Amino acid sequence: MLMLRGTFFSCKLLNHKLFIMLEFVIVSIMGMNKRKITAVTIFVTTIFIFGASTVFALSGATVPSAESVLTDNVNDQPVGDSAEATQSNQEGAKVSSTTAVSQQAIDGQAQPTVQNKQVESGLVMTRSGNTTVVTDGTGWLATFTDGARTVSMRGSQRTFSEPGAVYTVTHNVWVRLLEAPFKGVIDEAWLQSKVSDTSLDALGIAMQYISGAPTLTDASNRTYASDADYGPIGPDGIRQEGSDFNDYLGVDYDYNGVSDSYEIDQLGALDCSGYMRMIWGYRLGMKLTNQADGMGVALPRRAVQMYASGPGVATIAQGSDARANMAKLQPGDLVFSDASTDDGTAIDHVGLYLGKDSAGNYRFISSRKTANGPTMSDIGGKSVLNGTGLYAKSFVAARRL
């Protein structure tokens, strides 16, 4: 009797009245012999199980399977830092369906995990490796990369060209800058605002310094964009490097209390790294440093330093087969070369990847001596990363800021 009663108490689905009825029946048969008690016990247990199942079914409840419990836990699990993920979920990014589940460490390494999420806004977010691709009813909308601030997104179609250049680049990719490196959680309000933003992006700003670009001035009548030079001509008749963004502007620049004075003979000039700092730093607000180590948050002065310690993540690592990995490039990526033959094997040139050109080549834009400033043309070497040209043969790495 004690054994049966303990068994009944252990069942969470037991109805109180049903228990009293069963207990009465059991007490009534206590005088029976052992064989009869066993038979009655089996009969009563069968009736109890049938009755409990019927009560549960009539209540409208269903028994959750182990698989469904696991899936629900996965769907509720935010991706990225818990505080930011929780905030994003509270702000309306409610997940309605999810397949596959895991996010690995944010380190820029290739990761096989794929995750699809569809949110109430109709956006579908597909995670693959260290990127999150967003699509809508029209198709591709944006690509976010772990650890990088740059986001490529769909916009109106544009054609990038330059006077004298044979090839053009045409696509609908715009490159915007997040306030902080991406950590796996998409701010849909930010995304929607940037998709409809028609102000210049990184690619549009880059084109404001090529040959034939108009001169633009700010409220103080300072020129902030124009057909830029590379640098002053030196005693050897070769244009000198060393022109940073503040030299172009003609202003002293303060780095945490340390002032860098502009060089008057470099006014209106930008060397290759100075050009990148003009685009990403002065124009788009990315932190700049005059130190060799950017510590992953600031853009250093030289090309070799930008690759080694600049913001973002290396999308093509130096030492790998860079040209075999060109498919990883996205418009806006910094591309690095070891183009000079008089400085060893160190990186000595940096440009900005524009996209595939009208001939199917991987075209970039950079500031160089022989072209006397920023160009996407083939002056002073073809501005493509594939083929047998100078920059194709010397292409060694890429970084997504």
Strand order in 373-375's β-sheet? 313-316, 395-400, 334-337, 349-356, 362-368, 373-375
pLDDT of residue 175: 98
Question: Beta 334-337 vs 395-400: how paired, if at all?
Answer: antiparallel
Q: What is the pLDDT of residues 317-329, one digit of tens each?
A: 999 999 999 999 9
pLDDT of residue 188: 94
Q: What is the pLDDT of residues 151-161, one digit of tens each?
A: 999 999 999 99
What 3-state DSSP class applies to 273?
Answer: helix
Which range in 7-11, 179-183, 344-348 is most confidently predicted, on average pLDDT?
179-183
Is this model's pTM higher than 0.75 or not?
A: no
Q: How far, in Å, CA of 325 to CA of 321, rounded?
A: 7
pLDDT of residue 54: 41
Q: How far, in Å, CA of 48 to CA of 218, rounded?
A: 85
Asked if the model's pLDDT at residue 230 lies above 60, the reply is yes
Q: How far, in Å, CA of 274 to CA of 351, rounded?
A: 11
Asked if the model's pLDDT at residue 302 lies above 90, the reply is yes
Asked if the model's pLDDT at residue 108 lies above 60, the reply is no
Q: Which of 49-53, 112-116, 160-164, 372-376 has the lowest mean pLDDT?
A: 49-53
Q: Which of 88-97, 137-146, 171-180 has the lowest mean pLDDT?
A: 88-97
Q: How far, in Å, CA of 162 to CA of 172, rounded?
A: 18
pLDDT of residue 46: 45
Question: Measuring CA to CA, how many Å separate 160 from each of 79, 163, 294, 306?
Answer: 37, 11, 31, 25
> What are the strands, taking DSSP E only, across 33-160?
95-99, 114-119, 124-128, 131-135, 140-145, 150-160
Question: Measuring CA to CA, how many Å separate 53 from each of 4, 10, 62, 288, 368?
Answer: 19, 16, 11, 69, 80
For residue 114, name the pLDDT band (cuts at 50, 70, 90). low
pLDDT of residue 85: 33
Q: What is the pLDDT of residues 1-28, one digit of tens each?
A: 434 344 433 433 334 444 444 444 443 4
Query: 58 or 315: which carries more pLDDT confidence?
Result: 315
331 touches 160 (CB < 8 A): no
H or E element that contains 313: strand 313-316
Q: How far, in Å, CA of 225 to CA of 354, rounded?
A: 19
Q: How far, in Å, CA of 22 to CA of 334, rounded?
A: 78
Q: What is the mean pLDDT of residues 293-311?
A: 97
Q: What is the mean pLDDT of residues 210-235?
A: 97
Asked if the model's pLDDT at residue 287 lies above 90, the reply is yes
Q: How far, in Å, CA of 256 to CA of 386, rounded?
A: 41
205 touches 270 (CB < 8 A): no
pLDDT of residue 71: 29
Q: What is the mean pLDDT of residues 369-383?
A: 95
Q: What is the mean pLDDT of residues 59-65?
A: 37
Q: How far, in Å, CA of 89 to CA of 70, rounded?
A: 19
Among residues of the chain, what percentage have pLDDT more than 90? Answer: 67
Q: Which of 89-93, 194-198, 203-207 has the lowest mean pLDDT?
A: 89-93
* Average pLDDT score over the chain: 79
Instruction: List the one residue out of 401, 371, 400 whose CA is nearest residue 391.
Output: 371
Query: What would the two tokens of residue 262 be?
Result: 């502009």
